[in-house]
Structure formats: structure tokens, C-alpha cells
A and B are shown apart, each in its own frame.
Chain A
Amino acid sequence: MDANTFFIQVLNGIQYGLLLFLVASGLTLILGIMGIINLAHGSFYMVGAYLAFSLSQHFGSLWLAMAGGVVIAVGIGLALEWLLISRLYHRDHLYQVLLTYGLILMFEELRSLVFGDDVHGVSVPALLQASIPLTDTLSYPVYRLWMSAVCLALAVGMYLLIQKTRLGMMIRAGSTNREMVQSLGIDIDLLYRLVFALGVALAAFAGMIAAPVASVFPGMGNQVLIVCFVVVVIGGIGSVKGAMLAAILIGLVDTFGKVLTLEIGGVRVLPELSGMMIYVLMAAVLLARPEGLFGKRG
């Protein structure tokens, strides 16, 4: 592997990692702050991708589709929290798993009813269709760079929101002691609803910007969900910083697992078993630090 290919693969790995971060950060926030394990989080990613596909056909522009899609995703998030999730706060994790599992089945079938079971493609917006030439034969698409930039900007925005604003302070306080925050006169139900909607919107947005590079297909949500679980486990529950680090790590491991070849004792291990790489990483982290890289001990 020469230096240019290596460079491109590093970029790809980071870009995949940043995308994972968008989905995983919502998952880890909902887990860490609200204590809800949300299996349907991957479905929101899928919903986002399908919204990008159908709305961009309808409006003729991916930009408008994204704007509309985010509004719809926030609406879905608020409605779901109000109708169902808010009834789960005092219940065992088991019931949270089951209810959100039921939601996955419903989202998958609704998707099948509304959009069908075909694989779709979404075209890259004209503004970002160019590629940056690296050598005579290799080039890197601008859209992927734009994706990484947007993900980074959102990550910084989220950090500022949670660490530096009054709203973020209330959210952090709410995750430590719900009753205390409530007795201080803060509408904690509304706060939780907003956090949930934010998580849904982030996952859906990730699906939307990923739609042009990865095709839009049934089951895409579940694939992402499991990888995001691994990200959250490695990073530590509730830690946005941990999710960021773990997501990039997984992005790189997964990307290089697919392009490198490795033989152990004459048996080709990579890329054949590249799908397993991230789980091996997870097992290693669990052995060393069961609470994740940035998780709280105890």
C-alpha cells in the first residue's frame, strides 16, 4: 500500500467514524442522561436516509430535503417520547429493550409499506460533485470531505451546547438527579423530550448525509445500530467525548480491516474476517476496562 492509498484510507476511516459518531452520540446521550436503551435508534438513521431519498426527488434538491427531513425527524422524536418513551423511565431496561424492539419491527414494515423494499441511490448535490486530484489516477470526492466537516461542526456544537450553555447545564444536572432538578422548578419532562428529539434528529441527519455515498436499503438501520452499540460500549455510556474517540477508532479499524491482508499460519484472516475486527476490539476494551474508556467506574 503506497502513501497515497494509505492517506485516502485514513480519510475514509475518519469520515466513517465521524458519521458513526453522529448516530452514537444520540444513543449515548439518551442512555446516559435519560437511562433509556433505545434499540430503535438505528431505525431513525434509516428513516433519515429514506427521507433524503424521497424528499430530494420531491423537491429536486438534497439541501431542501435535509432541511425538511430534520424537521420531520424532530417531530417524530417529540411524538415518540411523549407517547411511549416517557412511560419507560421508571421501568426495567428489559422493557425498554422490548418496546424499542417492537418499534424497530414497526418502522421496518412502515418503510416497506411506504417506500417498498428496493435499494435506492441519492445523487450528490451539484455544488459538491467535484473531486480533488491527488495523483494522476487517485482523487478524493469533495462530498466526503464536506461530510466530515459537517460532522465535526456538529460535534463541536454539541460539546458547546452541553458544556457551555444554561440548557446544557440543566441537562447534565438532570442526568445526575432528576428529582432535585424538578424541585428547582425546571420542567424536566420537557428537557428529556428535547434530548430525545435531538438524538433522533442527529441519527436521521446522519442517515441523510450518508445517503449519497452509501445506498439507501432495507435493514441499513440495524447494521449501524450494532456498530454504534460497540462505539458506546468502548467509549463509555453517556460520554460524548468517549463516543467521539471510539467512533474514530472503529472507523479506522473497520476501514483498514477491509483493505489490509493478513495471514496467520497460511490462513487468510483479513479481509475475510474484517467484520469481526471491531468486536475483537470491543472484547479487548472490556477485558481492560469493563466500563469503557471514558465511563464512570462503579
Chain B
Amino acid sequence: MMRKVSVATVVLCCCLLALALLPWFAEKYYIQLFTKMMIMAIFAMSLDLLVGYTGLVSLGHAAYFGLAGYVLAFAAPQYEAASLWVSLPLAMACSGLLALVIGALVLRTSGIYFIMVTLAFAQMVFFVFHDTKIAGGADGIYVYAKPVADIAGWQPFTLENHTHFYFVVLALLVLVYVMLRVLLASLFGRVIVGIRVNEQRMRSLGYRTFGYKLACFVLSGVLAGMAGYFAAAQFGFVSPDLLGWHQSGGVLMMVILGGMGTLNGAVLGAFSMMLLELGFQGLPVVGGMDIGKHWQLLMGGFIVVVVLLLPHGLLGIGRLASRLLRKQEACDA
């Protein structure tokens, strides 16, 4: 057991080191690509807290992601930059508040109901931005300038610089990862995993499960908001698609693909999904059919195959391999 933990830690440290060194070797395009992947990894981890640990399958998680993006767009007056120190907490607070309101309602349900109701409420938020003119309607609005990190005239970093942006997101990724790790190892973490396994039992042990679930829902919404804020800042554009259900379905797929209930899996899933998407989009025209343009067909097929053949995600392959290996050793011995 000790050996296995240390292997995982070594791999993790190597990945972190590689990410930290990347800007010295990669071109601008790849730095921006990895920034986007890390943002999605934060998003995926926030959902994993709900789906993998607490056992709440939310199909409306993009609402909190997108709302934070819109908050940034509102906080930045046209052609002027918003202050990072004001707009980021504001965006996360708004997402948290939305999660609190929706969570208080949807947590009254469970199972299939929960999935459908989270989706329906997210669609409600979608329609608010899609149908009304408050934020450009279906066309969306531009965030012309990236937020400035100004402390009394001194700027520790500038987000307009893509390398600075990259490191800020990397730092946040590590921060969120460590924070969630600590949280999950605490009593709170034990309780929410207990809720997933058997809520009735936790309740009879005297835990007010509703409060724990709501706290998870809100925290998850706040973290999704953080990811959405930086996604909007990087892209420089927000549209209702940011909170649409394709976004919610996509991030759920990332969590499953990597292997839910493990933070490493969520990050791995986010990275591999984005790379896969890029790979599918880059496919050439074959026999008069533009495969790259219709990449969603391959993505859909891929998802179906993963569900049927890889119920534990990509990390499951590793587990399967190590089990087979151990069996082999047992046979040899």
C-alpha cells in the first residue's frame, strides 16, 4: 500500500513539474490551450465533489460556471477592465448564491428527479440570458479587457500576458486541488462520502445530511464560478452557450472519463477530453465527408463506448492493469 501511494505521488509531482515548466518550451498556442484545459480541470473537480463524493448527479453545473462569466462581463464597463480583486470574489459569490437558491430546492429531490430538476433549473438560467436583452441575448457580449490585478498602483501580474495568465490558473488549480484534498480528508469529507454510501445511516448517526449536501452544492457552485470567471476572461466573450446543457453534459463526461470520486481522475478527464476534442476536430476530409466538422458524431460514439466498456474511467484502466499484473505475479509464484 505504501509503495502504491508513493508511485501516485511521484507521478503527480512529475505532472505538476511538467505543467510548471511548460511555458518555457511551448508556443503561445499551446500555453493558451493548457490554460483552457486547467480551467476545465477546476470545473471538473468542482463537479466531482458533487457527483463522485457526495453522490449527487447534477446535470446543470454549467449554470454556475456561466453565471460567473456573465458577472465578469457586467463588472467590466465597456472597454474598461474590471478589478480582479473585486470581480472574482463577486463572481464566485454570485455563483454560490445561485447554487444556494437552486440547491435548497433541488436537494428536496433525489435520484432521477435530481438529475432532471438540476437540468431544468440550469435551463431556466440559460433562458434568462438567452431571451432577455440584459446581456446581449443569444449573441452574447464581449469582455474587451482582461481583469487587472491592481493593488494600490502595483501590479503583481498582468492577465493580458498569456504566460502570467497561465501561471495564475495553474496556481489556482493547485490551490483548489489541495483545498479539496484537505477538505475530503476532514470529518466533513468523511460525512459526505458517508452520505453517498448510505444517507439513511448518516442521518440515524445524527448528521443533518441536508445541510452537508447543501454546503457541498454551494461550494461546488463557487468553484465552478471560479472556473467560469477565468474561462470568460480568457476567451473574452460570454454567450448563453457557456451555461447551456452541452457544457453541463461535457463536464460530467470529463468526470466520468477520468474516473469519478478521485480528484486526479477529474483533472485527467478534463485534459483528455479536451485533447480528444481537438484531435477529432483536426481529422481530415475522407471520401467527401468532412470528419473534423462533424466531430461530435465521433465524440458521441466515444461516450457511448466509454459508458459500455469503461465504467471506472481512464483511471480504471490503470487499476485493471495492476490487478492483472498482480494476478500474473501470483501465478508465477
| Chain A interface residues (CB < 8 Å from chain B) | 31, 35, 37, 39, 84, 87, 91, 93-95, 97-99, 101-110, 112-113, 222, 226, 229-230, 232-233, 237, 272-276, 279, 282-283, 286-287, 290-291
Complex-state Cα separation, A106 to B127, whole angstroms:
25
Task: Tell me which residues from 88 to 134 in chain B have a Cβ below 8 Å from any Cβ of chain A.
Answer: 105-106, 108-109, 111-113, 115-117, 119-121, 123-124, 127-128, 130-132
Residues of the B chain whose Cβ atoms lie less than 8 Å from the Cβ of A108: 296
B256 within 8 A of A: yes
Contact B301 A98 (CB under 8 A): no
Complex-state Cα separation, A240 to B253, whole angstroms:
31
B215 within 8 A of A: no
Contact A237 B307 (CB under 8 A): no
B53 within 8 A of A: no
Residues 76-93 of chain B, each 1 if its beta carbon lies under 8 Å from chain A, else 0? 000000000000000000
Q: Which of A35, A98, A233 contacts B252 (CB 8 A)?
A: A98
Contact B51 A84 (CB under 8 A): no
Contact B112 A237 (CB under 8 A): yes
- Taking CB as reference atom, which chain A residue is nearest B132? A272
Contact A237 B113 (CB under 8 A): yes
Contact A94 B51 (CB under 8 A): yes
Contact B300 A109 (CB under 8 A): yes
Complex-state Cα separation, A98 to B120, whole angstroms:
17
Can you list 15 A-B pairs with a CB-CB distance of less than 8 A? A93-B111, A94-B51, A94-B260, A97-B57, A97-B252, A102-B299, A113-B294, A229-B116, A233-B116, A276-B124, A282-B117, A283-B121, A286-B105, A286-B109, A290-B108
Secondary structure type dominating chain B contacts: helix
Complex-state Cα separation, A273 to B133, whole angstroms:
11
Within the complex, the shortest CB–CB distance from B308 to chain A, in Å, comes to 6
Complex-state Cα separation, A226 to B119, whole angstroms:
8
Within the complex, the shortest CB–CB distance from B122 to chain A, in Å, comes to 9
Contact A110 B297 (CB under 8 A): yes
- Taking CB as reference atom, which chain A residue is nearest B109? A290
Q: Which of B128, B132, B303 contacts A99 (CB 8 A)?
A: B303
B249 within 8 A of A: yes
Interface centre among B59, B113, B256, by most chain A C-beta atoms within 10 angstroms, is: B113
- Taking CB as reference atom, which chain B residue is nearest A107? B300
Contact B303 A286 (CB under 8 A): no
Complex-state Cα separation, A101 to B303, whole angstroms:
8
B311 within 8 A of A: yes
* Contact A112 to B256, CB < 8 A, known contacts A97-B57, A101-B249: no
Complex-state Cα separation, A106 to B302, whole angstroms:
10
* Contact A276 to B128, CB < 8 A, known contacts A99-B307, A105-B296: yes
Residues of the B chain whose Cβ atoms lie less than 8 Å from the Cβ of A273: 128, 131-132
Complex-state Cα separation, A107 to B300, whole angstroms:
9
Interface centre among B59, B109, B123, by most chain A C-beta atoms within 10 angstroms, is: B123
- Taking CB as reference atom, which chain A residue is nearest B128? A276
Residues of the B chain whose Cβ atoms lie less than 8 Å from the Cβ of A229: 116, 119-120
Contact B302 A102 (CB under 8 A): yes
Interface centre among B120, B130, B131, by most chain A C-beta atoms within 10 angstroms, is: B120
Interface centre among B299, B301, B304, by most chain A C-beta atoms within 10 angstroms, is: B304
Contact A37 B121 (CB under 8 A): no
Complex-state Cα separation, A105 to B245, whole angstroms:
12
Contact A84 B308 (CB under 8 A): yes
Complex-state Cα separation, A227 to B132, whole angstroms:
19
- Taking CB as reference atom, which chain A residue is nearest B133? A272
Contact B119 A275 (CB under 8 A): no
Beyond A97-B115, A226-B245, 8 additional pairs, beta carbon < 8 A: A94-B51, A94-B252, A98-B253, A101-B249, A104-B300, A237-B113, A276-B127, A286-B108
Contact B116 A37 (CB under 8 A): yes
Contact A287 B105 (CB under 8 A): yes
Within the complex, the shortest CB–CB distance from A15 to chain B, in Å, comes to 22
Residues 52-63 of chain B, each 1 if its beta carbon lies under 8 Å from chain A, else 0? 000001010000
Contact B130 A275 (CB under 8 A): yes
Contact B303 A290 (CB under 8 A): no
Contact A31 B112 (CB under 8 A): yes
Within the complex, the shortest CB–CB distance from A207 to chain B, in Å, comes to 20
Contact B303 A102 (CB under 8 A): yes
Residues of the A chain whose Cβ atoms lie less than 8 Å from the Cβ of B123: 226, 279
Contact B308 A87 (CB under 8 A): yes
- Taking CB as reference atom, which chain A residue is nearest B289? A113
Task: Tell me which residues from 298 to 324 in chain B have a Cβ below 8 Å from any Cβ of chain A.
Answer: 299-304, 306-308, 311
Residues of the A chain whose Cβ atoms lie less than 8 Å from the Cβ of B51: 94
* Contact A232 to B302, CB < 8 A, known contacts A95-B311, A97-B252, A272-B131: no
Task: Tell me which residues from 36 to 73 in chain B have a Cβ below 8 Å from any Cβ of chain A.
Answer: 51, 57, 59
Residues of the A chain whose Cβ atoms lie less than 8 Å from the Cβ of B106: 286
